[in-house]
Structure 1
Amino acid sequence: MAQITRHPVAPAPAAPPREATGRVLLRGYGIFVLFSGFAHLAWWNLLGPVGTAALAALVGAATIAIWVPLIVRAARPRADRAMRVAALEWRRLPWATLGYVALAGLSILWSRWPATSAVTFGLLLVTTIQALFLAHVFTWREIVRLLEVALRWALGLSLLFELWAALVLRGPLLPNFADAPADPNPQWYWTRGALFDLDVRIQGIVGNANILGIQCVLALIVFGVRFAMRPNRRGAIGAWIALALVLFWRAGSATALIAGLVVLAVLAAALLMRRAATPGQRTRLYALFTGLAVAGLAAVALLWNTILDALGRESGLTGRDRIWAGVWERAIERPVFGSGYASPWMPWDPMFDRWLVDKTITVVQAHDMWLDAFLQLGVAGVAVLAVVFGAATWRSWFFAVDRPRWDIVADRPYAPLTLIAPLILALLLTQGLTESGPIMLWGWLLVTMIAFRIKLAPIVGHGASEQMNRRDP
């Protein structure tokens, strides 16, 4: 006989499970890996080439030492499957990306600069391993959080560094704290110590205004997505967005400004596409976007000189036209498989030393990732690179505009997090028109990480690779 009782039938309330210590340490290491990628020039200016190479080798070895045991444990057949990391699905690896890496390694055999090819291929290999490790070990939400914290460190230290140079040092600083010659080239400076001089661009800890500007746009993407995810401390994220905007303004990078406008256009297109309820509406939107893109390109072609004047740039894009001409002249000598991998160019190699000079400084990149790939790996390299970025862009676009669906439920809400992939790729593709950054160091790390993670987890929060338990690895 049923009786009325005042005792609840639900289980007693309990505190949420604490985050495993091992997982916290693993995330801390992931933050350090990403920060080291973003601040690679800071390490270079602080430790010099030998110290930076040693640090890269050490971090690469540490990643392998951490990752391999996790892969082995995840592959063991166990009933409870109590693993911190899902089993590595080899068929989901970004094979086009790995093909580009393999082609870069093979190019040492026919390289015109074999020493540079060997050194830079080692750097490419370490960067690729780091990207695969991050994509496999962490969930989408963790990756966005790691990017947020790493960029906070990069931008925060940039501000502190510029404040120290302006208030304490009260002057410019050369890399490795070297003594300045009698009449130094301003391009040599790590920082010019001119934070409060609004007529001078700042360079941050990376020592380059263009890279600082691009990283500010990247930070705005990541911080904006985190803000839209409605975390507990939205005020703090708003403050970091404000800092990113200030540093973006002070960096004064035309490339970053154009990339930011492209990112805004892609964001608007993705949000409009999410509102399309039928395939017909999507088709009309795609036609609209195509027309706007064609009209925009035509306007840029017709108003090119006016745009350059508004940006305060020369018609030769600050000497890039001369660099492109020199690179093209050498590239067509070996058009099929190129002259050998070299990203970046090593300035002490006789084949690059004083080959192309910009304001008395040896140029270390082609300032266009497609032209750089053509020089190094020929038409074959450009074709593989096009597949890498094309496949990543294709998947990231539908990752953002398609509703999450794995059963008959077709009206689940969109996740703000899914916008991060197409926006980052839009940023890198735009930067790649005037810089070679997307095919080296942190640019390549982001492309590889996004390409692999989308293949592992095409739906945020669903699937084995998104269901991490809280036990120590």
Structure 2
Amino acid sequence: MTSRRSILLLGSTALSIYLSFSFSFKQQLRFLVIALGINVIVCFIFGLLLPKYGIMHDVHAGAWRGVHSHKNKLGSQMALTTVFLLTTQYSHLFKRRASLWITGVMLLSAFMVVASKSTTGLLTTAAMALTFLICNTLRLSYRYMVIGVSSIVLILGAVSIYIQSEADAILGIFGKTTGLSGRDEIWPGIWHMISLRPFLGYGYEGFWGTAGGPADLLRQIVGWPAPNAHNGFLEILLAVGWIGGIFFFASFLVTTVKSFQLVRMSKQSYAIYPVLILVFLVLGNMTESNFFNHDVWILYVWVSLSSIQISDTSLKERAKSIEVSNASERASPFYPS
């Protein structure tokens, strides 16, 4: 199972590397915007005109899922699309006529976040919008940056205290409980299974892959047919153990730190994109297992490489500006011969 599925994962990695080094960062962003836009339109058509397939009819009856298998997948994809297109409008990557189309698609994606009835999608949209605000605050001068970040931190602190005190009432609005739909039962069992093979894990998709495998023991422990770990970080430890997990977490930390540094250092507005994608990946993997999904893995590899590209572009622009400044000084009549 691991050897077969790893071929697909390596293919996804190769595709992401090819796209990252074969096109400029702006071209990559345009491709991604077009792809996200097509996904929004197709999902909307399925939900509106083909409700038999585009709307769920089980325990989540009435929730839109579009062309995805579950409402939560639609919600998370539309959350990413909404804020991504908002950032695109802010970055002025497209001309005015195309910009109007992007605004329309963005409104459709925001509608489908609500129509999916996905709590994860709503929270992801709010968190990514807040990240967009924080990143733009980091681009201000030092004085205003400190004031802006301090204000945001104080507001977030007050909101988090209120949420903790009223957690049951707030989750009840969305039809949820503090038990996270049974995830509080499965996660201790997952940790137990990780402890049985702590170093190298069970192999990529080897834990859940076949009937009669180690996942059956976990399902007996928790008492329900869990399809995955419902947490991307635990899924990584199940697949590759602590040895592979440490390599992954180290790369994720380096990518995160570098992405936030680029937001502050780079003059380009599109430097915000890697941070937005990282926030999306973290939030999407808190209650779901998405990291090793091929589409999500492509995004992660792309973000890791795009931070390098933005850094190189910023260095080249800085060197060019210094060269222009030196040339203007040499052209000055007061420049010593």
- Opposite residue 244 of structure 1, the aligned amino acid is S
Pick the aligned partner of 1:229 from 88, 91, 100: 91
Residues 288-338 of structure 1: per-residue CA shift (max 9 Å, x gap): 666666666555444332332132213321222222233222112122332
**Pair 250,286 (structure 1): closer, same or farther in 2 beyond 3 Å:** closer
Q: Secondary structure at the match of 1:390?
A: helix
Deviation at 1:342, TM superposition (A): 1.6
Q: How many residues align?
A: 311
- Give the conservation status (yes or no) of the 8 Å contact 1:347–1:364: no
Pick the aligned partner of 2:72 from 210, 213, 219: 210
- Give the conservation status (yes or no) of the 8 Å contact 1:343–1:439: no
Give the corresponding residue for 2:322. Answer: none
Tell me the distance in 1 between the aligned counterparts of 2:162 and 2:232: 24
Tell me the distance in 1 between the aligned counterparts of 2:257 and 2:173: 33
- Point out the structure with the larger helix share: 2
Pick the aligned partner of 1:432 from 285, 289, 311: 285
Give the corresponding residue for 1:142. Answer: 27
Give the corresponding residue for 1:447. Answer: 300
Alignment of 1:249-264 (within 5 A): 249-264=114-129
**Pair 199,341 (structure 1): closer, same or farther in 2 beyond 3 Å:** closer
**Pair 202,291 (structure 1): closer, same or farther in 2 beyond 3 Å:** same
- When the two chains are superposed, the root-mean-square deviation of aligned CA atoms in Å is 3.0
Alignment of 1:271-310 (within 5 A): 271-277=136-142, 299-310=162-173
- Give the conservation status (yes or no) of the 8 Å contact 2:80–2:280: yes
TM-score (norm 2): 0.81
Q: Secondary structure at the match of 1:275?
A: coil
Tell me the distance in 2 between the aligned counterparts of 1:258 and 1:346: 31
- Give the conservation status (yes or no) of the 8 Å contact 1:335–1:379: yes
Q: Secondary structure at the match of 1:375?
A: helix
Alignment of 1:304-319 (within 5 A): 304-319=167-182
Residues 361-419 of structure 1: per-residue CA shift (max 9 Å, x gap): 954321111111222222223322211221111111122222x3xxxxxxxxx332111
Tell me the distance in 1 between the aligned counterparts of 2:74 and 2:157: 30
**Pair 366,199 (structure 1): closer, same or farther in 2 beyond 3 Å:** closer
Structure 2's unaligned 5+ residue stretches are 318-337
Deviation at 1:249, TM superposition (A): 0.9
Pair 1:386-2:249 in alignment: yes
Tell me the distance in 2 between the aligned counterparts of 1:432 and 1:394: 19
Residues 243-272 of structure 1: per-residue CA shift (max 9 Å, x gap): 111111111111111112211221221121
Pick the aligned partner of 2:272 from 389, 410, 419: 419
Pair 1:395-2:262 in alignment: no
Deviation at 1:214, TM superposition (A): 0.9
Deviation at 1:163, TM superposition (A): 2.9
Q: Which has the larger Rg?
A: 1
Q: Which has the higher contact order (CA 8 A, sep 6+)?
A: 1
Tell me the distance in 2 between the aligned counterparts of 1:318 and 1:265: 26
Alignment of 1:168-183 (within 5 A): 172-173=52-53
**Pair 298,255 (structure 1): closer, same or farther in 2 beyond 3 Å:** same
**Pair 343,445 (structure 1): closer, same or farther in 2 beyond 3 Å:** farther
**Pair 285,206 (structure 1): closer, same or farther in 2 beyond 3 Å:** same
**Pair 344,147 (structure 1): closer, same or farther in 2 beyond 3 Å:** farther
Give the corresponding residue for 2:39. Answer: 154
Tell me the distance in 1 between the aligned counterparts of 2:75 and 2:217: 27
- Opposite residue 287 of structure 2, the aligned amino acid is T
Give the corresponding residue for 1:368. Answer: 231
Deviation at 1:229, TM superposition (A): 2.9
- Give the conservation status (yes or no) of the 8 Å contact 1:221–1:424: no
